[in-house]
Structure 1
Amino acid sequence: MSDTGTEASEDRAEAEPEATAVAADLADERLLQSKGLSGWLQMQVNRLRSGDLGNLPVIIGLAVICIGFYAENARFLSSRNIVSITQYAAPIGIIALGIVLVLLLGQIDLSVGSVSGMAAAVMAVLMVNQGYSTLVGMLAGILVGVAVGAFYGLLFTWIGVPSFVFSLAGLLGFQGVLLLVLGENGTINLPSDSYLLEFTRFSFVTGWQSYALVALLVLGFLGSQYRSSVKRRAAGLGTPWWPMVLARAALLGGGLGFLTYYVNIDRGFSYLWILFVVLVMFADFALRRTVWGRHVFAVGGNVEAARRSGIKVNRVFMSVFVLTSTLAALGGLLAAGLQTSVSQASGTTDTNLTAIAAAVIGGTSLFGGRGSAYSALLGILVLQAITSGLNLAGVESEVRFMVTGAVLLIAVAIDSVSRRARSSSGRG
């Protein structure tokens, strides 16, 4: 009896680690293993019930917007209009990408528009008035963004000035610097032979190059999934269900392939748009796959807990403020190239509101700790689609502002509701 009881106890002890691992695997969605199609569907249902909506609302909203404007005017979904939407969305989308980063920390930067205009003015003065090359002018403009971000970081980490206060001061102050730099003329036309204008206005990816980019994206997606599976299997965690991974890859390749074929009917995707997408992908990789990215989410979720866990909180804040202002400066330079000039209207309040609205509408939480680099891409597509659709419908600009405000309010309301749902389900 004693021997039998001892053997049974040993068997239970050996089984306990495996049972515990399985329990942990099922208790934490990040460790969940999809058991076929039904398991994957159940996981998606559980996410929605718990308030983890991800990018679903903005994707549905974008689809509704496209269908509605197409019903009003068939030209909305023409190849030429889609190319124009993506091309003109890119500069402010790059600025919105910086806003996503600062919102992830639960902070805000209200001066990105003014910084973008000031950087563009510095570039224009150096190129036109001082005779420097485009490269020197662009580097000087980007360094302006770096300097502003570093200054903001010092104000926040050393002195403790709230981000709302110093960025509001920057909005006003840097707009004054813009007027000062431009001088009495108020407008500087960029040289027509500048490769900045060539890049932003006339360079497009067509033919086999565009399809090669689609193939690279699909292969990159599969490689990322395979790498993740290898690491999770080595750690004893659940792995993705590969038939679903392959189905998603096929859907991604097919959708992008058709879209590429369709825009190639006109001019193809602009290099400006491709640059924006590459920056979004790079930011997404940095946020999800690097230590720095995990620290950004940790600080945005709970600053004090992050500090006590050993994270260099001040370094995280400093890096994000620098990146936000640098991306704002880059967006301003590209916008100047697209518009062929810099004026007193460059980087005005409309730029600030559009960039911030794009980040929030795309799904980045105002409360910090939740969001994605793709929020900038989806959000700016929504806003640019609204602008283009209303312009085709002949609607006045004041209506566009009202519609944008309504969409922003809806996005924040959805975020608040999903946040309460996550809290009630124990997801925080």
Structure 2
Amino acid sequence: MRRTADNARAEPTAAHAEDPRPRRGRAVAHALARAAERWVTVSRHKLSAGEVGSLPVLLVLAAVWITFQSLNQSFLSPRNLSNLSVDVAGTGLIAVGIVFVLLIGELGLSVGSISGLAAAVFAVLNVDNGVPEWLAAIIGVLAGTATGTIQGFSFARTRVPAFVVTLAGLLTWNGFMLSILGTSGTVNLDENGLVAKLTSYYFANDGAAYGLAAIAATIVFLVHYQDRRRRETVAMPHRSLGGIAARTGALAVIAFTGAYLLNRFQGLPLALLIFLAVVAGLDIVLRHTHYGRQVYAVSSSVEAARRASLSVTRVQTSVLAISGTMAAIGGLFLASRITSVSQSSGSGVLLLNAIAAAVIGGASLFGGRGTTWSAALGMLIIQSIASGMALTDTPAAVQFVITGGVLFAAVLIDSLSRRSQKAHGRA
């Protein structure tokens, strides 16, 4: 039926029209539902192809935190979480360097000795010889870079497996450390010095922690958005805007919650800020630079990389050099935590924890898979176990058993995922 003029006049005016906000709300809900459905579909496809991602790591971390929180209500307290964020930095930085070595399918065994050597060089230069702290710290880090470069060049040129070269380095650099420390055996650092403040300084202003959380969420959104635009331009599969928003929102919730808890104690630790900056920076190097693509190319096939005119020797040497540098920086952080360097520096379970952190976090022992965030997540799990054990007065032996079990599970998942990927590829 055709509308009449009276009918038209009887229609509601713009002021009395239906409120469009409910329709917008339904549209947003539908968009989020489609994004969630797509995420589930993609996740199922990745799992069937053996691409487990970081899901197992996050589940293990959640299980560890829930378990220890139920045993001791102080586990997730601001004080303990703040101490946890500082404790992960030293060994975590060493684990980040190990990820580079694991990516090319090799294993470095000398990072513990290199960390002790770098700390000893710094301590003797600064305390015993009066060299300014900043200069002594740089020389200590360069000592780690030099040892890593020597090992990397030896491995790349002789083609002797890296674990053999670094095993020899473990003994050699430990001997150098003992020689540098001399008969005294222990050097105490200035508790108010530059290196000591690496793990003792906190940004008390609440804005520092919240600002870091906001910056992290913004960077994640921009990186994923730019990646989406780049993939969309060349007609490659890409994340939806809803998926990017959901991922960014989840990270923002975690980041701002962490900032709130840190501010309830002493504020943002300098050690955590440096650690996250290094992890994020090296992640960008691996994922978004020509050098990073070369590392992954060598990890896939050394022979194919050579045929593609890549300098395999340079890449392998540089990977071990980065590992040595990170070990040296981690050694300074470990010395900062106890404000001393001794003949036991770099020994004990340090090497095992660093390797375990990288593997537990998702780096593959078979090469080709892993990110710097793998080391961060793995170290968080290991340190959470250690912290929970200390709060519950559990014997150290149990801690080793649990950490070993988690490591074995990570290697098992890695092996099974590789088999699934090969089977999926053949299919």
Q: Fold-level match, TM-score > 0.5?
A: yes
Q: Secondary structure at the match of 1:349?
A: coil
Residue 356 of structure 1: aligned partner: 355
Residue 414 of structure 1: aligned partner: 413
In structure 2, relative to structure 1, the CA distance for the partners of 1:305 and 1:205 (3 Å cut) is: farther
Residue 323 of structure 2: aligned partner: 324
Residue 178 of structure 1: aligned partner: 177
Instruction: Using the TM superposition, give the Cα deviation of residue 229 of structure 1 relative to its aligned residue in structure 2, in angstroms.
Output: 2.3
Residue 17 of structure 1: aligned partner: none
Alignment of 1:78-97 (within 5 A): 78-97=77-96
Residue 253 of structure 1: aligned partner: 252
Residue 230 of structure 1: aligned partner: 229
Alignment of 1:152-163 (within 5 A): 152-163=151-162
| Contact preservation (8 Å) 1:205, 1:271 | no
Q: Give the AA of the match of 1:114.
A: S
In structure 2, relative to structure 1, the CA distance for the partners of 1:160 and 1:244 (3 Å cut) is: closer
For structure 1, the 5+ residue unaligned runs are 1-33
Residue 290 of structure 1: aligned partner: 289
Instruction: Using the TM superposition, give the Cα deviation of residue 35 of structure 1 relative to its aligned residue in structure 2, in angstroms.
Output: 7.3
In structure 2, relative to structure 1, the CA distance for the partners of 1:96 and 1:137 (3 Å cut) is: same
In structure 2, relative to structure 1, the CA distance for the partners of 1:412 and 1:206 (3 Å cut) is: farther
Instruction: Using the TM superposition, give the Cα deviation of residue 427 of structure 1 relative to its aligned residue in structure 2, in angstroms.
Output: 8.1
Instruction: Using the TM superposition, give the Cα deviation of residue 350 of structure 1 relative to its aligned residue in structure 2, in angstroms.
Output: 1.2
| Contact preservation (8 Å) 1:107, 1:368 | yes
CA distance in 1: counterparts of 2:279 and 2:309, whole angstroms: 28
Q: Give the AA of the match of 2:374.
A: S
CA distance in 1: counterparts of 2:421 and 2:237, whole angstroms: 23
| Contact preservation (8 Å) 1:112, 1:171 | yes
Instruction: Using the TM superposition, give the Cα deviation of residue 336 of structure 1 relative to its aligned residue in structure 2, in angstroms.
Output: 0.7
CA distance in 2: counterparts of 1:239 and 1:371, whole angstroms: 21
Q: Give the AA of the match of 1:345.
A: S
Residue 218 of structure 2: aligned partner: 219
Q: Secondary structure at the match of 1:188?
A: strand
**RMSD after superposition:** 1.6
- Quick check: 347-356 or 240-249, which moved more? 240-249
Instruction: Using the TM superposition, give the Cα deviation of residue 376 of structure 1 relative to its aligned residue in structure 2, in angstroms.
Output: 0.6
Instruction: Using the TM superposition, give the Cα deviation of residue 338 of structure 1 relative to its aligned residue in structure 2, in angstroms.
Output: 1.4
Residue 46 of structure 1: aligned partner: 45
Alignment of 1:93-172 (within 5 A): 93-172=92-171
Q: Secondary structure at the match of 1:342?
A: strand
| Contact preservation (8 Å) 1:35, 1:241 | no
| Contact preservation (8 Å) 1:102, 1:324 | yes
Q: Give the AA of the match of 1:337.
A: S
Residue 13 of structure 2: aligned partner: none
Q: Give the AA of the match of 2:335.
A: A
In structure 2, relative to structure 1, the CA distance for the partners of 1:37 and 1:72 (3 Å cut) is: closer
Deviations 1:56-100 (A, max 9, x none): 111100000011111111111111001111101101000000001
Q: Give the AA of the match of 2:70.
A: A
| Contact preservation (8 Å) 2:100, 2:323 | yes
Q: Give the AA of the match of 1:256.
A: A
Residue 425 of structure 2: aligned partner: 426
Residue 68 of structure 1: aligned partner: 67
| Contact preservation (8 Å) 1:50, 1:427 | no
Q: Secondary structure at the match of 2:341?
A: strand
Residue 193 of structure 1: aligned partner: 192
Q: Give the AA of the match of 2:186.
A: T
Instruction: Using the TM superposition, give the Cα deviation of residue 203 of structure 1 relative to its aligned residue in structure 2, in angstroms.
Output: 2.7
In structure 2, relative to structure 1, the CA distance for the partners of 1:261 and 1:312 (3 Å cut) is: same
CA distance in 2: counterparts of 1:63 and 1:427, whole angstroms: 35
| Contact preservation (8 Å) 1:118, 1:175 | yes
Instruction: Using the TM superposition, give the Cα deviation of residue 363 of structure 1 relative to its aligned residue in structure 2, in angstroms.
Output: 0.6
In structure 2, relative to structure 1, the CA distance for the partners of 1:238 and 1:403 (3 Å cut) is: closer
Q: Give the AA of the match of 2:324.
A: S
CA distance in 2: counterparts of 1:402 and 1:240, whole angstroms: 40
- Quick check: 203-212 or 375-384, which moved more? 203-212
Q: Secondary structure at the match of 2:344?
A: coil
CA distance in 2: counterparts of 1:94 and 1:401, whole angstroms: 21
CA distance in 2: counterparts of 1:40 and 1:427, whole angstroms: 25
In structure 2, relative to structure 1, the CA distance for the partners of 1:238 and 1:411 (3 Å cut) is: closer
CA distance in 2: counterparts of 1:348 and 1:288, whole angstroms: 32
Q: Secondary structure at the match of 2:368?
A: coil
Instruction: Using the TM superposition, give the Cα deviation of residue 202 of structure 1 relative to its aligned residue in structure 2, in angstroms.
Output: 2.6
CA distance in 2: counterparts of 1:205 and 1:237, whole angstroms: 45
Instruction: Using the TM superposition, give the Cα deviation of residue 399 of structure 1 relative to its aligned residue in structure 2, in angstroms.
Output: 2.0
CA distance in 2: counterparts of 1:226 and 1:57, whole angstroms: 26
Deviations 1:304-359 (A, max 9, x none): 11211222111110111100000000100111111100011110031111100100
Residue 26 of structure 1: aligned partner: none
CA distance in 2: counterparts of 1:205 and 1:280, whole angstroms: 23
| Contact preservation (8 Å) 2:134, 2:194 | no
- TM normalised by structure 2 equals 0.89
Instruction: Using the TM superposition, give the Cα deviation of residue 36 of structure 1 relative to its aligned residue in structure 2, in angstroms.
Output: 4.5
| Contact preservation (8 Å) 2:181, 2:342 | yes
Q: Secondary structure at the match of 1:142?
A: helix
CA distance in 1: counterparts of 2:205 and 2:351, whole angstroms: 33
| Contact preservation (8 Å) 1:145, 1:329 | yes
Q: Give the AA of the match of 2:52.
A: L
State yes or no: 1:266 paired with 2:241.
no
CA distance in 2: counterparts of 1:206 and 1:56, whole angstroms: 34
State yes or no: 1:55 paired with 2:69.
no
In structure 2, relative to structure 1, the CA distance for the partners of 1:142 and 1:98 (3 Å cut) is: same
Q: Give the AA of the match of 1:179.
A: L
Residue 9 of structure 2: aligned partner: none
Deviations 1:248-271 (A, max 9, x none): 222211221122112211113311
- TM normalised by structure 1 equals 0.89
State yes or no: 1:279 paired with 2:278.
yes
CA distance in 1: counterparts of 2:398 and 2:232, whole angstroms: 53
